[in-house]
A and B are shown apart, each in its own frame.
Chain A
Amino acid sequence: MCPWRNPSADVALWFPGSTRSDTEVRILSGVRPELAQRLGRQPTAGENALYVHRIWRGTELLGEVATTRVKGESGAVELAVAFEPDGRVHGVRVQRSREPEPIANVLQNSWLASFQGKTATDLSAGASTIPAVPPEARTTGTAIMEGVRSLCILREMATRPGILRRPAPEAAAHLH
Protein backbone atom coordinates (compact mmCIF):
# COMPACT_ATOMS: atom_id res chain seq x y z
CA MET A 1 0.00 0.00 0.00
CA CYS A 2 1.38 3.35 -0.97
CA PRO A 3 0.67 6.61 0.86
CA TRP A 4 -0.30 9.85 -0.84
CA ARG A 5 2.62 11.98 0.29
CA ASN A 6 1.59 15.52 -0.56
CA PRO A 7 -2.14 15.75 -1.22
CA SER A 8 -2.51 19.52 -0.81
CA ALA A 9 0.23 20.35 -3.35
CA ASP A 10 -1.01 17.73 -5.82
CA VAL A 11 -4.61 18.91 -5.61
CA ALA A 12 -3.54 22.54 -6.05
CA LEU A 13 -1.51 21.55 -9.12
CA TRP A 14 -4.00 19.23 -10.79
CA PHE A 15 -7.37 20.49 -9.64
CA PRO A 16 -7.17 24.21 -8.83
CA GLY A 17 -10.51 25.49 -7.57
CA SER A 18 -11.41 22.28 -5.80
CA THR A 19 -13.32 22.76 -2.59
CA ARG A 20 -13.13 19.36 -0.93
CA SER A 21 -12.02 15.77 -1.28
CA ASP A 22 -12.94 12.38 0.10
CA THR A 23 -11.51 8.91 -0.09
CA GLU A 24 -13.26 5.73 -1.12
CA VAL A 25 -12.11 2.15 -0.94
CA ARG A 26 -13.26 0.10 -3.91
CA ILE A 27 -13.14 -3.62 -3.43
CA LEU A 28 -11.88 -5.44 -6.49
CA SER A 29 -11.44 -8.95 -5.11
CA GLY A 30 -14.67 -10.01 -6.83
CA VAL A 31 -13.27 -9.27 -10.29
CA ARG A 32 -9.83 -10.84 -9.88
CA PRO A 33 -10.08 -13.20 -12.89
CA GLU A 34 -10.92 -10.35 -15.27
CA LEU A 35 -8.39 -8.10 -13.59
CA ALA A 36 -5.69 -10.73 -14.10
CA GLN A 37 -6.65 -10.99 -17.75
CA ARG A 38 -6.47 -7.25 -18.32
CA LEU A 39 -3.29 -6.71 -16.32
CA GLY A 40 -1.61 -9.69 -17.99
CA ARG A 41 -0.47 -10.96 -14.59
CA GLN A 42 -1.94 -12.06 -11.29
CA PRO A 43 -3.09 -9.03 -9.25
CA THR A 44 -1.06 -8.46 -6.09
CA ALA A 45 -2.70 -8.63 -2.66
CA GLY A 46 -2.67 -4.82 -2.51
CA GLU A 47 -4.64 -4.67 -5.75
CA ASN A 48 -7.65 -6.34 -4.14
CA ALA A 49 -8.72 -2.87 -3.04
CA LEU A 50 -8.16 0.52 -4.65
CA TYR A 51 -8.06 3.70 -2.58
CA VAL A 52 -9.51 6.48 -4.71
CA HIS A 53 -9.26 10.10 -3.58
CA ARG A 54 -12.15 12.00 -5.18
CA ILE A 55 -11.68 15.73 -5.71
CA TRP A 56 -14.79 17.95 -5.79
CA ARG A 57 -15.80 21.51 -6.53
CA GLY A 58 -19.08 21.71 -4.67
CA THR A 59 -21.06 18.77 -6.05
CA GLU A 60 -19.05 18.56 -9.29
CA LEU A 61 -16.47 15.77 -9.46
CA LEU A 62 -13.25 17.27 -10.84
CA GLY A 63 -11.27 14.07 -10.87
CA GLU A 64 -9.68 11.32 -8.85
CA VAL A 65 -6.21 10.53 -7.56
CA ALA A 66 -4.73 7.10 -6.84
CA THR A 67 -1.23 6.04 -5.82
CA THR A 68 1.02 3.07 -6.49
CA ARG A 69 4.52 1.83 -5.78
CA VAL A 70 6.60 0.25 -8.56
CA LYS A 71 9.98 -1.42 -8.65
CA GLY A 72 12.53 0.99 -10.09
CA GLU A 73 16.10 0.17 -11.03
CA SER A 74 17.54 1.53 -7.75
CA GLY A 75 14.64 1.32 -5.33
CA ALA A 76 10.91 1.72 -5.06
CA VAL A 77 9.26 4.52 -7.06
CA GLU A 78 6.05 5.93 -5.65
CA LEU A 79 3.59 7.47 -8.08
CA ALA A 80 0.54 9.68 -7.62
CA VAL A 81 -1.73 9.57 -10.66
CA ALA A 82 -4.61 11.97 -11.27
CA PHE A 83 -7.55 10.94 -13.45
CA GLU A 84 -10.20 12.92 -15.29
CA PRO A 85 -13.76 11.89 -14.39
CA ASP A 86 -13.85 9.94 -17.71
CA GLY A 87 -10.82 7.88 -16.69
CA ARG A 88 -8.14 9.59 -18.78
CA VAL A 89 -4.86 10.34 -17.05
CA HIS A 90 -4.79 13.97 -15.95
CA GLY A 91 -1.29 14.00 -14.45
CA VAL A 92 1.47 11.83 -13.02
CA ARG A 93 3.90 12.76 -10.27
CA VAL A 94 6.83 10.79 -8.86
CA GLN A 95 6.30 11.10 -5.12
CA ARG A 96 9.63 9.58 -4.26
CA SER A 97 12.34 7.55 -5.88
CA ARG A 98 15.89 6.44 -5.21
CA GLU A 99 17.01 6.75 -8.81
CA PRO A 100 20.42 8.34 -9.41
CA GLU A 101 20.26 11.94 -10.61
CA PRO A 102 20.80 11.30 -14.35
CA ILE A 103 17.93 8.81 -14.45
CA ALA A 104 15.71 10.93 -12.21
CA ASN A 105 16.30 13.87 -14.58
CA VAL A 106 15.16 11.84 -17.59
CA LEU A 107 12.00 10.78 -15.79
CA GLN A 108 11.09 14.36 -14.97
CA ASN A 109 7.85 16.22 -15.47
CA SER A 110 8.35 16.62 -19.23
CA TRP A 111 8.37 12.86 -19.74
CA LEU A 112 5.61 12.29 -17.19
CA ALA A 113 3.49 14.89 -19.02
CA SER A 114 3.30 12.50 -21.99
CA PHE A 115 0.90 10.35 -19.94
CA GLN A 116 -1.70 13.13 -19.97
CA GLY A 117 -4.91 12.17 -21.74
CA LYS A 118 -3.93 8.50 -21.99
CA THR A 119 -6.23 5.61 -21.11
CA ALA A 120 -5.47 2.03 -20.15
CA THR A 121 -5.96 1.04 -23.79
CA ASP A 122 -3.48 3.67 -25.02
CA LEU A 123 -0.87 2.49 -22.53
CA SER A 124 -1.53 -1.17 -23.31
CA ALA A 125 -0.68 -0.41 -26.92
CA GLY A 126 2.95 -0.25 -25.81
CA ALA A 127 5.76 2.22 -25.64
CA SER A 128 4.82 3.86 -28.92
CA THR A 129 2.36 6.20 -27.19
CA ILE A 130 4.96 7.33 -24.64
CA PRO A 131 8.32 8.81 -25.72
CA ALA A 132 11.25 6.43 -25.39
CA VAL A 133 13.79 7.00 -22.65
CA PRO A 134 17.56 6.41 -22.77
CA PRO A 135 18.66 2.80 -22.11
CA GLU A 136 19.92 3.57 -18.58
CA ALA A 137 16.45 4.81 -17.60
CA ARG A 138 14.55 2.10 -19.44
CA THR A 139 13.95 -0.26 -16.50
CA THR A 140 12.51 2.44 -14.29
CA GLY A 141 10.66 4.10 -17.18
CA THR A 142 9.02 0.81 -18.09
CA ALA A 143 8.11 0.20 -14.45
CA ILE A 144 6.48 3.63 -14.23
CA MET A 145 4.57 3.05 -17.46
CA GLU A 146 3.37 -0.33 -16.23
CA GLY A 147 2.41 1.20 -12.89
CA VAL A 148 0.31 3.91 -14.53
CA ARG A 149 -1.28 1.37 -16.88
CA SER A 150 -2.16 -0.91 -13.97
CA LEU A 151 -3.71 2.00 -12.06
CA CYS A 152 -5.74 2.95 -15.14
CA ILE A 153 -7.07 -0.60 -15.36
CA LEU A 154 -7.78 -0.82 -11.65
CA ARG A 155 -9.54 2.53 -11.69
CA GLU A 156 -11.58 1.54 -14.75
CA MET A 157 -12.66 -1.72 -13.10
CA ALA A 158 -13.36 0.14 -9.88
CA THR A 159 -15.94 2.42 -11.54
CA ARG A 160 -18.07 -0.47 -12.74
CA PRO A 161 -21.53 -0.90 -11.30
CA GLY A 162 -21.70 -3.54 -8.62
CA ILE A 163 -18.22 -2.82 -7.26
CA LEU A 164 -18.38 -2.47 -3.50
CA ARG A 165 -17.50 1.07 -2.35
CA ARG A 166 -16.80 2.13 1.19
CA PRO A 167 -15.64 5.46 2.61
CA ALA A 168 -12.04 5.03 3.83
CA PRO A 169 -11.45 5.31 7.56
CA GLU A 170 -10.15 8.79 8.52
CA ALA A 171 -6.67 7.49 9.40
CA ALA A 172 -6.34 5.41 6.23
CA ALA A 173 -7.52 8.24 4.02
CA HIS A 174 -4.26 10.09 4.58
CA LEU A 175 -2.15 7.02 4.06
CA HIS A 176 -3.38 5.80 0.72
Chain B
Amino acid sequence: MLRLALRNLLRRPLRLALTICGVALGTAVWMTLAGLGDGYRAGLRTELDRAGVQLMLVPLGCPYDAAARVLKGRTLETSLPASALDAVRSDPAVAVAAPMLIAAVPRPEENRTDLWVGLDEASRHLKPWWHMTAGRDWFSATNGAILGSEAALIELRAPGDALHSPELRQTFRVEGVLERSGTSDDSLFFIPLRTAQRLFAQDDRLTAIAIRLKDPAELRAVVQRLQQIPGAQVVTMTEMMGTFLRLLGTVRTLLMALAIVACAVGILGVLNTLLAAVVERTPELCLLRAVGASRTQMVFLVASESLLLAVAGTAAGVGIAGVGGHAIESLVKPFLPLAPTGTLLQLGPDRMTQCALAAVLGALVAAAYPAWCAARLPPALAAKTE
Protein backbone atom coordinates (compact mmCIF):
# COMPACT_ATOMS: atom_id res chain seq x y z
CA MET B 1 0.00 0.00 0.00
CA LEU B 2 2.84 2.38 0.92
CA ARG B 3 4.62 1.72 -2.38
CA LEU B 4 1.45 2.48 -4.28
CA ALA B 5 0.97 5.68 -2.25
CA LEU B 6 4.55 6.76 -2.90
CA ARG B 7 4.23 6.06 -6.62
CA ASN B 8 1.05 8.11 -6.76
CA LEU B 9 2.74 11.06 -5.06
CA LEU B 10 5.78 10.94 -7.34
CA ARG B 11 3.63 11.32 -10.42
CA ARG B 12 3.50 15.09 -9.87
CA PRO B 13 6.96 16.04 -8.57
CA LEU B 14 6.40 19.82 -8.61
CA ARG B 15 3.12 19.59 -6.72
CA LEU B 16 4.76 17.18 -4.28
CA ALA B 17 7.70 19.54 -3.67
CA LEU B 18 5.46 22.55 -3.11
CA THR B 19 3.25 20.66 -0.67
CA ILE B 20 6.28 19.43 1.27
CA CYS B 21 7.61 23.02 1.35
CA GLY B 22 4.34 24.24 2.88
CA VAL B 23 4.42 21.57 5.58
CA ALA B 24 8.14 22.20 6.19
CA LEU B 25 7.60 25.93 6.63
CA GLY B 26 4.82 25.44 9.16
CA THR B 27 6.87 22.88 11.07
CA ALA B 28 9.98 25.07 11.05
CA VAL B 29 8.11 28.10 12.39
CA TRP B 30 6.47 26.02 15.11
CA MET B 31 9.68 24.24 16.11
CA THR B 32 11.74 27.44 16.20
CA LEU B 33 9.28 29.39 18.32
CA ALA B 34 8.65 26.50 20.69
CA GLY B 35 12.39 25.75 20.91
CA LEU B 36 13.25 29.37 21.67
CA GLY B 37 10.56 29.54 24.35
CA ASP B 38 11.79 26.33 25.98
CA GLY B 39 15.39 27.52 25.89
CA TYR B 40 14.54 30.92 27.35
CA ARG B 41 12.60 29.40 30.22
CA ALA B 42 15.32 26.83 30.97
CA GLY B 43 18.10 29.40 30.63
CA LEU B 44 16.36 31.89 32.89
CA ARG B 45 15.77 29.23 35.53
CA THR B 46 19.43 28.15 35.35
CA GLU B 47 20.65 31.75 35.72
CA LEU B 48 18.40 32.37 38.69
CA ASP B 49 19.40 29.05 40.27
CA ARG B 50 23.05 29.95 39.77
CA ALA B 51 22.44 33.20 41.58
CA GLY B 52 21.91 30.90 44.58
CA VAL B 53 19.19 33.06 46.16
CA GLN B 54 15.48 32.70 46.72
CA LEU B 55 14.76 36.26 47.78
CA MET B 56 16.23 39.66 47.34
CA LEU B 57 15.67 42.66 49.56
CA VAL B 58 15.91 45.86 47.52
CA PRO B 59 15.06 49.52 48.16
CA LEU B 60 11.52 50.68 47.46
CA GLY B 61 10.80 51.27 43.78
CA CYS B 62 10.10 48.88 40.94
CA PRO B 63 11.11 45.59 42.56
CA TYR B 64 11.66 43.70 39.33
CA ASP B 65 13.78 46.43 37.83
CA ALA B 66 15.79 46.59 41.06
CA ALA B 67 16.32 42.84 41.26
CA ALA B 68 17.22 42.62 37.58
CA ARG B 69 19.73 45.45 37.97
CA VAL B 70 21.36 43.78 40.97
CA LEU B 71 21.54 40.42 39.23
CA LYS B 72 23.18 42.10 36.24
CA GLY B 73 25.59 44.02 38.47
CA ARG B 74 24.10 47.45 37.84
CA THR B 75 23.59 50.21 40.35
CA LEU B 76 20.38 51.41 41.98
CA GLU B 77 19.35 54.99 42.52
CA THR B 78 18.48 54.35 46.16
CA SER B 79 19.96 52.18 48.89
CA LEU B 80 19.04 50.20 51.99
CA PRO B 81 20.16 51.05 55.51
CA ALA B 82 22.56 48.56 57.10
CA SER B 83 19.96 48.01 59.83
CA ALA B 84 17.93 46.10 57.20
CA LEU B 85 20.69 43.49 57.19
CA ASP B 86 20.39 43.00 60.95
CA ALA B 87 16.64 42.64 60.59
CA VAL B 88 17.04 40.03 57.84
CA ARG B 89 19.69 38.09 59.73
CA SER B 90 17.59 38.03 62.86
CA ASP B 91 14.80 36.22 61.02
CA PRO B 92 14.96 32.57 62.13
CA ALA B 93 14.09 31.25 58.67
CA VAL B 94 17.01 32.95 56.91
CA ALA B 95 20.01 30.71 56.26
CA VAL B 96 22.23 33.23 54.46
CA ALA B 97 21.84 36.97 54.01
CA ALA B 98 24.52 38.47 51.79
CA PRO B 99 24.68 42.26 51.61
CA MET B 100 26.17 44.00 48.59
CA LEU B 101 26.95 47.50 47.50
CA ILE B 102 27.25 48.16 43.79
CA ALA B 103 28.79 51.41 42.59
CA ALA B 104 29.44 52.65 39.09
CA VAL B 105 32.47 54.71 38.13
CA PRO B 106 31.99 56.19 34.65
CA ARG B 107 35.05 56.41 32.41
CA PRO B 108 33.68 58.56 29.59
CA GLU B 109 36.95 58.74 27.67
CA GLU B 110 36.75 54.95 27.30
CA ASN B 111 33.00 54.79 26.71
CA ARG B 112 32.67 52.39 29.60
CA THR B 113 31.79 52.26 33.28
CA ASP B 114 33.73 50.40 35.93
CA LEU B 115 31.36 48.49 38.18
CA TRP B 116 32.65 47.90 41.69
CA VAL B 117 30.80 45.38 43.83
CA GLY B 118 31.32 45.29 47.58
CA LEU B 119 30.71 41.85 49.05
CA ASP B 120 30.97 40.34 52.48
CA GLU B 121 31.91 36.77 53.41
CA ALA B 122 28.29 35.57 53.25
CA SER B 123 28.24 36.06 49.48
CA ARG B 124 30.55 33.09 49.02
CA HIS B 125 27.80 30.79 50.29
CA LEU B 126 25.45 32.10 47.60
CA LYS B 127 27.86 31.73 44.71
CA PRO B 128 28.63 28.03 44.27
CA TRP B 129 30.29 28.82 40.94
CA TRP B 130 32.77 31.22 42.61
CA HIS B 131 35.93 29.54 41.29
CA MET B 132 39.26 31.18 40.60
CA THR B 133 41.52 30.64 37.61
CA ALA B 134 44.33 31.95 39.77
CA GLY B 135 44.97 33.38 43.21
CA ARG B 136 42.97 33.41 46.44
CA ASP B 137 39.22 32.92 46.49
CA TRP B 138 38.56 35.63 49.07
CA PHE B 139 39.99 38.95 50.22
CA SER B 140 42.85 38.78 52.69
CA ALA B 141 43.15 42.56 53.06
CA THR B 142 40.89 45.57 52.93
CA ASN B 143 42.54 46.69 49.69
CA GLY B 144 42.14 43.27 48.05
CA ALA B 145 40.25 42.93 44.79
CA ILE B 146 38.93 39.93 42.89
CA LEU B 147 38.40 40.47 39.19
CA GLY B 148 35.96 38.94 36.75
CA SER B 149 37.71 37.11 33.92
CA GLU B 150 37.01 39.78 31.31
CA ALA B 151 38.00 42.62 33.63
CA ALA B 152 41.32 40.88 34.29
CA LEU B 153 41.87 40.36 30.58
CA ILE B 154 41.21 44.00 29.70
CA GLU B 155 43.33 45.34 32.55
CA LEU B 156 46.09 42.75 31.97
CA ARG B 157 46.01 41.88 35.66
CA ALA B 158 47.00 38.70 37.50
CA PRO B 159 47.01 37.89 41.22
CA GLY B 160 49.63 39.97 43.01
CA ASP B 161 49.38 42.90 40.57
CA ALA B 162 48.30 46.34 41.64
CA LEU B 163 45.09 47.82 40.27
CA HIS B 164 44.64 51.55 40.65
CA SER B 165 41.44 53.51 40.30
CA PRO B 166 42.34 57.12 39.48
CA GLU B 167 38.75 58.21 40.14
CA LEU B 168 38.70 56.67 43.62
CA ARG B 169 42.39 57.48 44.25
CA GLN B 170 42.80 53.98 45.61
CA THR B 171 45.21 51.20 44.74
CA PHE B 172 44.02 47.62 45.18
CA ARG B 173 46.00 44.41 45.19
CA VAL B 174 44.54 41.77 42.86
CA GLU B 175 43.98 38.65 44.98
CA GLY B 176 42.20 36.42 42.51
CA VAL B 177 40.71 36.16 39.04
CA LEU B 178 37.38 34.43 38.58
CA GLU B 179 36.77 31.73 36.01
CA ARG B 180 34.68 32.84 33.07
CA SER B 181 31.05 32.37 34.03
CA GLY B 182 29.34 33.81 30.97
CA THR B 183 27.44 36.21 33.25
CA SER B 184 27.80 39.90 34.01
CA ASP B 185 30.19 38.93 36.83
CA ASP B 186 32.90 38.54 34.19
CA SER B 187 33.34 42.29 33.84
CA LEU B 188 33.04 43.28 37.52
CA PHE B 189 35.58 44.35 40.13
CA PHE B 190 34.81 42.76 43.51
CA ILE B 191 36.10 44.37 46.69
CA PRO B 192 35.32 43.95 50.41
CA LEU B 193 31.99 45.49 51.40
CA ARG B 194 33.47 47.78 54.06
CA THR B 195 36.02 49.11 51.57
CA ALA B 196 33.28 49.79 49.04
CA GLN B 197 31.14 51.59 51.61
CA ARG B 198 34.08 53.77 52.62
CA LEU B 199 35.25 54.56 49.08
CA PHE B 200 31.80 55.43 47.79
CA ALA B 201 30.84 57.36 50.92
CA GLN B 202 27.99 54.94 51.55
CA ASP B 203 28.71 54.06 55.16
CA ASP B 204 26.06 51.73 56.49
CA ARG B 205 24.23 51.68 53.15
CA LEU B 206 23.59 48.67 50.92
CA THR B 207 22.35 48.21 47.37
CA ALA B 208 20.62 44.92 48.07
CA ILE B 209 20.59 41.87 50.30
CA ALA B 210 20.51 38.44 48.69
CA ILE B 211 18.77 35.87 50.86
CA ARG B 212 18.69 32.08 51.00
CA LEU B 213 16.21 30.36 53.29
CA LYS B 214 16.73 27.32 55.50
CA ASP B 215 13.49 25.86 54.18
CA PRO B 216 12.10 27.18 50.87
CA ALA B 217 8.63 26.09 52.02
CA GLU B 218 8.66 29.04 54.43
CA LEU B 219 9.01 31.51 51.60
CA ARG B 220 5.58 33.11 51.92
CA ALA B 221 5.83 33.68 55.68
CA VAL B 222 9.34 35.11 55.38
CA VAL B 223 8.28 37.49 52.61
CA GLN B 224 5.48 38.82 54.81
CA ARG B 225 7.88 39.40 57.70
CA LEU B 226 10.60 41.05 55.59
CA GLN B 227 8.10 43.35 53.88
CA GLN B 228 7.78 45.07 57.26
CA ILE B 229 11.37 46.41 57.06
CA PRO B 230 11.08 50.18 56.46
CA GLY B 231 12.24 51.42 53.03
CA ALA B 232 12.67 47.91 51.68
CA GLN B 233 10.74 45.47 49.55
CA VAL B 234 11.13 41.81 48.85
CA VAL B 235 11.37 40.18 45.44
CA THR B 236 11.29 36.42 45.15
CA MET B 237 13.16 34.83 42.31
CA THR B 238 10.04 32.88 41.37
CA GLU B 239 8.08 36.14 41.06
CA MET B 240 10.84 37.63 39.04
CA MET B 241 11.00 34.70 36.69
CA GLY B 242 7.20 34.71 36.44
CA THR B 243 7.23 38.38 35.48
CA PHE B 244 9.76 37.86 32.76
CA LEU B 245 7.97 34.79 31.48
CA ARG B 246 4.65 36.65 31.45
CA LEU B 247 6.27 39.40 29.40
CA LEU B 248 7.62 36.79 27.05
CA GLY B 249 4.32 34.90 27.10
CA THR B 250 2.40 37.79 25.54
CA VAL B 251 4.82 37.99 22.65
CA ARG B 252 4.91 34.22 22.42
CA THR B 253 1.13 33.96 22.10
CA LEU B 254 1.20 36.29 19.12
CA LEU B 255 4.05 34.40 17.53
CA MET B 256 2.42 31.02 18.17
CA ALA B 257 -0.71 32.33 16.45
CA LEU B 258 1.46 32.94 13.40
CA ALA B 259 2.86 29.43 13.75
CA ILE B 260 -0.67 27.98 13.92
CA VAL B 261 -1.62 29.86 10.75
CA ALA B 262 1.51 28.51 9.03
CA CYS B 263 0.63 24.96 10.13
CA ALA B 264 -2.98 25.40 8.99
CA VAL B 265 -1.73 26.52 5.59
CA GLY B 266 0.44 23.41 5.47
CA ILE B 267 -2.52 21.14 6.32
CA LEU B 268 -4.71 22.84 3.72
CA GLY B 269 -1.92 22.37 1.19
CA VAL B 270 -1.86 18.63 1.88
CA LEU B 271 -5.65 18.45 1.68
CA ASN B 272 -5.63 20.27 -1.64
CA THR B 273 -2.93 17.98 -3.05
CA LEU B 274 -4.74 14.81 -1.95
CA LEU B 275 -8.10 15.99 -3.22
CA ALA B 276 -6.62 16.90 -6.58
CA ALA B 277 -4.93 13.51 -6.74
CA VAL B 278 -8.18 11.70 -5.97
CA VAL B 279 -10.06 13.64 -8.67
CA GLU B 280 -7.29 13.05 -11.20
CA ARG B 281 -7.12 9.33 -10.43
CA THR B 282 -10.84 8.67 -10.25
CA PRO B 283 -10.78 6.01 -13.04
CA GLU B 284 -7.86 4.17 -11.42
CA LEU B 285 -9.42 4.29 -7.98
CA CYS B 286 -12.73 3.01 -9.37
CA LEU B 287 -10.84 0.19 -11.05
CA LEU B 288 -9.20 -0.67 -7.74
CA ARG B 289 -12.65 -0.81 -6.16
CA ALA B 290 -13.90 -2.96 -9.07
CA VAL B 291 -11.11 -5.53 -8.65
CA GLY B 292 -11.91 -5.93 -4.98
CA ALA B 293 -10.31 -3.09 -2.96
CA SER B 294 -12.44 -2.37 0.08
CA ARG B 295 -13.49 1.12 1.21
CA THR B 296 -11.13 0.76 4.17
CA GLN B 297 -8.23 0.03 1.82
CA MET B 298 -9.08 3.18 -0.15
CA VAL B 299 -9.03 5.19 3.05
CA PHE B 300 -5.66 3.65 3.98
CA LEU B 301 -4.25 4.49 0.55
CA VAL B 302 -5.11 8.19 0.81
CA ALA B 303 -4.10 8.34 4.48
CA SER B 304 -0.73 6.76 3.58
CA GLU B 305 -0.12 9.43 0.97
CA SER B 306 -0.98 12.11 3.51
CA LEU B 307 1.34 10.57 6.13
CA LEU B 308 4.20 10.36 3.64
CA LEU B 309 3.76 14.04 2.81
CA ALA B 310 3.64 14.94 6.51
CA VAL B 311 6.73 12.90 7.38
CA ALA B 312 8.78 14.41 4.54
CA GLY B 313 7.59 17.94 5.37
CA THR B 314 8.20 17.54 9.09
CA ALA B 315 11.70 16.16 8.55
CA ALA B 316 12.53 19.08 6.27
CA GLY B 317 10.96 21.53 8.76
CA VAL B 318 13.02 20.23 11.66
CA GLY B 319 16.13 20.56 9.52
CA ILE B 320 15.25 24.14 8.60
CA ALA B 321 14.56 24.97 12.28
CA GLY B 322 17.93 23.51 13.28
CA VAL B 323 19.81 25.53 10.68
CA GLY B 324 17.79 28.77 10.56
CA GLY B 325 16.70 28.82 14.20
CA HIS B 326 20.06 30.08 15.41
CA ALA B 327 19.90 33.01 12.99
CA ILE B 328 16.44 33.90 14.32
CA GLU B 329 17.77 33.54 17.87
CA SER B 330 20.56 36.03 17.25
CA LEU B 331 17.99 38.51 15.94
CA VAL B 332 15.56 38.05 18.84
CA LYS B 333 17.97 37.71 21.77
CA PRO B 334 18.97 41.38 22.18
CA PHE B 335 15.31 42.27 22.79
CA LEU B 336 14.67 39.66 25.49
CA PRO B 337 14.56 40.87 29.10
CA LEU B 338 17.39 39.35 31.22
CA ALA B 339 18.40 37.19 28.25
CA PRO B 340 20.23 34.12 29.53
CA THR B 341 23.72 33.47 28.22
CA GLY B 342 24.38 30.56 25.89
CA THR B 343 22.17 29.09 23.21
CA LEU B 344 18.43 29.52 23.64
CA LEU B 345 17.19 27.26 20.86
CA GLN B 346 16.35 23.85 22.30
CA LEU B 347 15.17 21.25 19.81
CA GLY B 348 14.99 18.40 22.29
CA PRO B 349 13.49 14.93 21.76
CA ASP B 350 10.29 15.96 23.58
CA ARG B 351 9.63 18.75 21.11
CA MET B 352 10.51 16.47 18.17
CA THR B 353 8.08 13.80 19.40
CA GLN B 354 5.41 16.45 19.96
CA CYS B 355 5.99 17.77 16.47
CA ALA B 356 5.87 14.28 14.91
CA LEU B 357 2.58 13.51 16.67
CA ALA B 358 1.15 16.86 15.56
CA ALA B 359 2.26 16.07 12.01
CA VAL B 360 0.52 12.66 12.10
CA LEU B 361 -2.63 14.27 13.48
CA GLY B 362 -2.49 17.04 10.86
CA ALA B 363 -1.97 14.46 8.11
CA LEU B 364 -4.99 12.47 9.23
CA VAL B 365 -7.12 15.61 9.38
CA ALA B 366 -5.97 16.61 5.91
CA ALA B 367 -6.62 13.09 4.56
CA ALA B 368 -10.11 12.74 6.02
CA TYR B 369 -12.15 14.39 3.26
CA PRO B 370 -10.14 13.11 0.25
CA ALA B 371 -10.21 9.60 1.78
CA TRP B 372 -13.95 9.82 2.25
CA CYS B 373 -14.31 10.88 -1.39
CA ALA B 374 -12.08 8.02 -2.54
CA ALA B 375 -13.93 5.46 -0.44
CA ARG B 376 -17.28 6.54 -1.86
CA LEU B 377 -16.26 6.08 -5.49
CA PRO B 378 -18.59 3.45 -7.08
CA PRO B 379 -16.81 0.45 -8.69
CA ALA B 380 -19.28 0.60 -11.57
CA LEU B 381 -17.77 3.92 -12.64
CA ALA B 382 -14.70 1.97 -13.77
CA ALA B 383 -16.74 0.22 -16.48
CA LYS B 384 -18.24 3.53 -17.61
CA THR B 385 -14.88 5.29 -17.91
CA GLU B 386 -13.42 2.31 -19.79
- Interface of A toward B, CB cutoff 8 Å: 5-6, 69-76, 95-96, 98-101, 104
A75 adjacent to B110 (CB under 8 Å): no
- Sorting the interface of chain B by its residue count into under 10, 10 to 19, 20 to 34 or 35 or more gives 10 to 19
Q: Is the CB of B165 within 8 A of A98?
A: yes
Assess the A76–B166 pair: CB atoms within 8 A. Answer: no
- B109 an interface residue at 8 Å Cβ cutoff? yes
**Cβ-defined contact, A5 with B110, below 8 A:** yes
Measured CB to CB, the nearest residue on chain B to A101 is B166
Q: Are B166 and A100 in contact, CB atoms less than 8 angstroms apart? A: yes
Given contacts A69-B156, A98-B155, A100-B171, is CB(A74)–CB(B164) below 8 Å? yes
Tell me if A100 and B156 are in contact (CB < 8 A): no
26 A–B pairs (Cβ distance < 8 Å), ordered by A? A5-B109, A5-B110, A5-B111, A6-B109, A69-B156, A70-B156, A72-B156, A73-B162, A74-B162, A74-B163, A74-B164, A75-B155, A75-B156, A75-B162, A75-B163, A76-B155, A76-B156, A95-B109, A96-B110, A98-B164, A98-B165, A99-B164, A99-B166, A100-B166, A100-B169, A104-B166
CA distance A98 to B114 in the complex (A): 12
- A104 contacts which chain B residues (CB < 8 A)? 166
Contacts of B110 in A (CB 8 A): 5, 96
Distance between Cα atoms of A70 and B163 in the complex (Å): 14
Chain A residues within an 8 Å CB radius of B383: none
Tell me whether chain B's interface is mostly helix, strand or loop, or mixed: mixed
- CB of B165 within 8 A of CB of A76, answer no
B92-144 interface with A by 8 A CB criterion: 107, 109-111
Beyond A96-B109, A96-B110, A101-B166, 19 extra complex contacts between A and B, CB < 8 Å: A5-B109, A5-B110, A70-B156, A73-B162, A74-B162, A74-B171, A75-B157, A75-B162, A75-B163, A75-B164, A76-B156, A76-B157, A98-B163, A98-B164, A98-B165, A99-B164, A100-B164, A100-B169, A100-B171
A6 to B171, CA, bound (A): 27
Which residue of chain A lies nearest to B112 when distances are taken between CB atoms in the complex? Answer: A96
Q: Could you say which residues of chain A place their CB within 8 Å of the CB of B251?
A: none
Contact residues in B for A70 (Cβ distance below 8 Å): 156
- Decide if B154 is an interface residue (CB 8 Å cutoff): yes
* Contact present for A76 and B154 (CB under 8 Å): yes
Expressed in whole angstroms, the Cα–Cα distance for A76 and B156 within the complex equals 6
With a cutoff of 8 Å between Cβ atoms, the chain B residues found around residue A100 in the complex are: 164, 166, 169, 171
State the CA gap A98–B163 with chains docked (Å).
Answer: 7
CA–CA, A74 and B155, complex, Å: 9
Point out the residues of chain A lying under 8 angstroms from B107, CB to CB.
96
Taken residue by residue from 306 to 344, chain B's Cβ proximity to chain A (1 for < 8 Å, 0 otherwise) reads as 000000000000000000000000000000000000000
A71 touches B156 (CB 8 A): yes
Give every chain B residue within 8 A of A98 (Cβ-Cβ).
Answer: 155, 163-166
- With both beta carbons as reference points, the residue of chain A lying nearest to B158 in the complex is identified as A71
Determine how close the nearest CB of chain B comes to the CB of A100; give it in whole angstroms. Answer: 5
